[in-house]
Copies of this chain bind each other. A is one copy, B any other.
């Protein structure tokens, strides 16, 4: 189903890719941003801004306010370093920054884990439906809520 080439990154490799991507857009990879990215990437589930604020605060020994976290998450989303899972009011690190496409998230109602799926033909169809209705600046939100295999 992955109809395009891309690289799934992990750990340091992911942070490096994220940094490279952000800097390519002329943005800076500051300590705070790095800490927030690392924390986000450390979650195996979509993390709320408050989750991240708490962990980063502890990790750095000084409080990081939620609004700062939101600011940086917004920056990450705008630059494809992270995605927002709308049905969970939470965020996920993008495991393949630099690769532009519409992700599909399968979110388990029981354990909260989110599976990331790519299906370009499907997301293209969604875009086509919206285009047909005259929509511009299209951002598909394709998610599935349900019970994952492990929880069944």
Annotate A98-114 by CB proximity to B: 1 below 8 A, 0 otherwise.
Answer: 00000010101100000
B129 engages A104 (CB within 8 Å)? yes
A138 engages B146 (CB within 8 Å)? yes
Binds B, one of A30-38, A59-67, A117-125: A117-125
B129 engages A117 (CB within 8 Å)? yes
Select from chain B the residue with minimum beta-carbon distance to A109.
B137
Q: How many copies of this protein are present in the complex?
A: 2
- The distance in angstroms between the C-alpha atoms of A133 and B136, with both chains bound, is 32
B146 engages A135 (CB within 8 Å)? yes
Q: With both chains docked as a complex, state the minimum distance between the C-beta of A59 and any C-beta of chain B, in angstroms.
A: 30
Select from chain B the residue with minimum beta-carbon distance to A1.
B129
A86 engages B141 (CB within 8 Å)? yes
- The distance in angstroms between the C-alpha atoms of A108 and B136, with both chains bound, is 9
A-B contact list, 8 entries, CB within 8 Å: A104-B126, A106-B129, A106-B133, A122-B126, A133-B148, A133-B149, A134-B149, A135-B147
